[in-house]
Structure 1
Amino acid sequence: MHENLPIFLESRNVKDDLVLEALYELTEKEIQFRNERAEKINIGISNFPYIRTIDDFDFSFQPTVNKTQLLELMTFKFIENKENILFVGTSGVGKTHLATAIGIEACKKRISTYFISCQALIHKLSKAAYENRLDDALRQFGRYKLLIIDEIGYLPQDKQGANLFFQLITKRYEKTSTIITTNQPFSKWGEVFGDITIANAILDRLLHHSHIIKIAGRSYRIKDKIESVNGGDNQNRVQN
């Protein structure tokens, strides 16, 4: 800031009696700059697949999503209370979008956040176990105040993967918050993890203090196609 002060004062044509006011304005700008830089850094290291916000979400396309509930969750009381969020729905309905939007807002609040797919997470834990550093990996993923685990259920897990996932969820239980996205109902998690006992133990810890958001609707990925077809049909009706 001190390097920019002479230029700033000269640009404002500041006299002695206005120096204090000018310094205050410059300090405010410096604080804003540092906050914006911190936000970008936090978002950058959190491994999000893309940048999405709650304003980008089309609630009219997915009317089963309660916007008021989402906005309440984005006050982050659920993190203070060590609660979890589970988004459940078929592919393409916006689960990852909403999980990412919450995560990005958490980063802006300087809440330590990390995003990872279930498959990538289990791969990292398996690799750590093979290299005899599983405890370090569990500590690493256990320390985030908010861990977002995406796409549970898209691929089945073997027994080792299920056990590793259970260990991580147990480590985070009632200490930190986790957001889950899944395309499978909880009744099928026994198939996902290959063991009904482990699946129930995982669900028991995730659901104990949680907010469950079920999304029933059409896929966003075909939304534009549908609108394009409907638009074409409407145009044809006008022409006919």
Structure 2
Amino acid sequence: MLHHPTVERLHALRLFGMAAALAEQQSQVSIDQLGFEERLGLLVERESSERQSRMFSARLRRAKLRFADAVPEDIDYRTARGLDRTLLARLLTGEWIRERQNVILIGKTGLGKSWLACALANQACRHGYSVCYLRMPKFSEEMAIVHGSGRYAKLLAQWAKTDILVLDDLAMTPMSDQARRDLLELLDDRHGSRSTIVTSQIPLDHWHDAIGDPTLADAILDRLVHNAHRLTLDGESMRKRRNGLTDKHDSE
């Protein structure tokens, strides 16, 4: 007789997992075979599981990943693109995040760099880390708006506290001098204390010229490259393969 009001009280306390589990227990004929502590343990386990799930969903929603559905389980290891499976397996453990290291993904368009970056970010969310995604071709424009709105200091402080920052398509378009300085300040706040994932179509030894100003480029690369794991992808565009456009001699 006390079950119904107890479920209502659990809802009032926002213990939704325990409430759902208790309601389910009421319909299980064999539940009386379990002792009090065993039943309580099941309720607590359900509440913990549902809270973790809600927190993961919230972290993923705040990350605003370009590919929100990119997950490690769906990584394509069969397509020939030079994917280092051993290194990727190590990265998925999250050890690089705990060590405050970076990840650099380089390769031509269509090889899945951005998708892989989002899959690593998704895994970071599962491990309990906060993530923020930035598309670099729009960085100059967006930062100009931020400067004009007076939100610059607040945004930098927010990025400084974010565990993983994803910089997608770095150096794809020319950067203004202000954007270079903004990027350096962003990275300087995070250097040695947070991790960054970078993707680019441009080979690493060309980043210096692509970024522009030699002094600022040196400082930016110093904060990104020297403590980074590198994944260099090569091969035919996966989009081309999916569309059945592979050349005949490539499929033989």
Give the structure-1-normalised TM-score: 0.86
- Displacement of 1:17 after TM fit? 6.4
The answer on 1:165 being equivalent to 2:166 is no
The residue correspondences of 1:117-128 to structure 2 (distance < 5 A) are 117-128=135-146
Counterpart of 2:27, as a letter, is: S
Name the stretch that deviates more: 39-48 or 3-12: 3-12
CA contact (8 A) 1:122 1:165 kept: no
The residue correspondences of 1:45-56 to structure 2 (distance < 5 A) are 45-50=62-67, 51-56=69-74
| Paired position in structure 1 for 2:14 | none
Name the stretch that deviates more: 64-73 or 11-20: 11-20
In structure 1, C-alpha distance between the alignment counterparts of 2:93 and 2:118, rounded to whole Å: 15
In structure 2, C-alpha distance between the alignment counterparts of 1:11 and 1:18, rounded to whole Å: 16
Counterpart of 2:206, as a letter, is: K
CA contact (8 A) 1:147 1:178 kept: yes
| Paired position in structure 1 for 2:35 | 18
CA contact (8 A) 1:89 1:182 kept: yes
CA contact (8 A) 2:81 2:111 kept: no
The residue correspondences of 1:54-93 to structure 2 (distance < 5 A) are 54-93=72-111
Residues 143, 226 of structure 1: CA spacing in aligned structure 2 closer, same or farther, 3 A cutoff?
Answer: same
Name the stretch that deviates more: 120-129 or 160-169: 120-129
Alignment gaps of 5+ in structure 1? 235-240
Alignment gaps of 5+ in structure 2? 1-6, 12-18
In structure 2, C-alpha distance between the alignment counterparts of 1:167 and 1:49, rounded to whole Å: 24
The residue correspondences of 1:122-201 to structure 2 (distance < 5 A) are 122-201=140-219
CA contact (8 A) 2:83 2:231 kept: yes
In structure 2, C-alpha distance between the alignment counterparts of 1:227 and 1:53, rounded to whole Å: 26
The answer on 1:8 being equivalent to 2:24 is yes
The residue correspondences of 1:206-225 to structure 2 (distance < 5 A) are 206-225=224-243
| Paired position in structure 1 for 2:130 | 112
In structure 2, C-alpha distance between the alignment counterparts of 1:115 and 1:143, rounded to whole Å: 14
Residues 6, 90 of structure 1: CA spacing in aligned structure 2 closer, same or farther, 3 A cutoff?
Answer: closer
In structure 1, C-alpha distance between the alignment counterparts of 2:138 and 2:86, rounded to whole Å: 32
Q: How high is the sequence identity, in percent, across the aligned residues?
A: 24
- Displacement of 1:21 after TM fit? 2.4
User: Please, what is the CA RMSD of the aligned residues?
Assistant: 2.4
In structure 2, C-alpha distance between the alignment counterparts of 1:213 and 1:203, rounded to whole Å: 16
| Paired position in structure 1 for 2:46 | 29
| Paired position in structure 2 for 1:237 | none
Name the stretch that deviates more: 9-18 or 208-217: 9-18
- Displacement of 1:130 after TM fit? 2.6
Counterpart of 1:79, as a letter, is: I
In structure 2, C-alpha distance between the alignment counterparts of 1:229 and 1:187, rounded to whole Å: 30
Residues 167, 8 of structure 1: CA spacing in aligned structure 2 closer, same or farther, 3 A cutoff?
Answer: same
Counterpart of 1:7, as a letter, is: A
- Displacement of 1:198 after TM fit? 1.6
Counterpart of 1:87, as a letter, is: L
In structure 2, C-alpha distance between the alignment counterparts of 1:224 and 1:63, rounded to whole Å: 14
Q: Aligned with 1:208: secondary structure?
A: coil
CA contact (8 A) 1:148 1:180 kept: yes
| Paired position in structure 1 for 2:58 | 41
In structure 1, C-alpha distance between the alignment counterparts of 2:128 and 2:145, rounded to whole Å: 29
Name the stretch that deviates more: 219-228 or 80-89: 219-228
